[in-house]
Amino acid sequence: MNPAQEREALVWGLVGVALFAATLPMTRLAVGPVEAPQLSPWFVTFGRAAVAGLLSAGYLAWQCSQGRLNVPGRTQWPLLGVTAFGVIVGFPLFLALALRYVPSTHGAVVTALLPLSTAVLGALWYRQRPSAGFWACAVLGSGLVLGFMAWRAGGLYLGAANIYLLIAMTTGAFGYIGGARLTPSLGAEQVICWVLACCLPLTLPVAWWFAPATPGAIGAMAWMGFAYVALFSMWIGFFAWYRALALGAVRVSQIQLVQPFLSLLFAVPLVGERLDATTLVFALAVIATVYLGKKMPIRPAGNPA
């Protein structure tokens, strides 16, 4: 890759990460706090997927008209299901449920461990052999996140919101792994579009069922948050991120390390949250652990070296 291509990949990567980083505060805007609830977390989850699914169906139809449509094979449908469970339902639903009870800055610290969680589950899925240093980073990062959650909860009882965040992180990691396995054959953009379009028979009726009875009673900022997570978090962000990865820049994946910082920064003007020193310190520690963990070797299965 020449320097111009690498710069282009890094720019697309930054665009994708910036769009994803605003997901937490925008989801918080959409669902509202427990004392002033707005949209149902179920509507936000399935409604954003339904909007993005309709756009994806149009995109796939356009790709078909251009003769560039890659149709999933019989053996790929289970992986599409895994991806859908993770990135369409699991991660956004449990994130939305959690953010009704905790600030988005809190969620940013917990989900900062997502890249390392993906690596751990990926190693188990592919039966790889991570090094001792990798597992040490995974344990340390998990301990930091659990310590942060216990500190914010005022004790060892983590509460439902933190459990929701842990489930969101785990299901999201599975979704990323499934999508990564499909990307080489289907193409990066078409993976998310196939997943979203195939989920329309589920997402459309569920979104309709949980839609607010009186839309006018929902604040404009909540609708703005919903529109953002539907258009950018669920759809356009994936196009920018996958475009960066498709260009093949080795360093692109490292850009994800700045995503928690951006989420913390966006939460201040968008939601009016306060960024305290302890939250920032824990975020720095978790991100540093993730960075070190991604540097540790992971050997293929059966390789004793």
- Give, for 251, the enclosing helix (H) or strand (E): none
Per-residue exposure over 157-194, b if at least 16 CB sit within 10 Å of its own CB, e if not: eebebbebbbbbbbbbbbbbbbbbbbbeebbbbbbbbb
CA–CA distance, 116 with 225 (Å, rounded to integer): 28
Q: What is the pLDDT of residues 92-119, one digit of tens each?
A: 999 999 999 989 988 988 888 887 787 7
DSSP letter string, 182-199? HHHHH-HHHHHHHHHHHT
Q: What is the pLDDT of residues 159-213, one digit of tens each?
A: 888 899 989 989 988 888 888 788 778 887 898 999 999 999 999 999 999 999 9
CA–CA distance, 114 with 124 (Å, rounded to integer): 15
Weakly modelled stretches of the chain, pLDDT under 70: 1-2, 153-158, 245-254, 298, 300-305
The pLDDT assigned to 304 comes to 46
Both tokens assigned to 285: 């520690």
Phi, psi of 130 (to 5 degrees): -65, 150
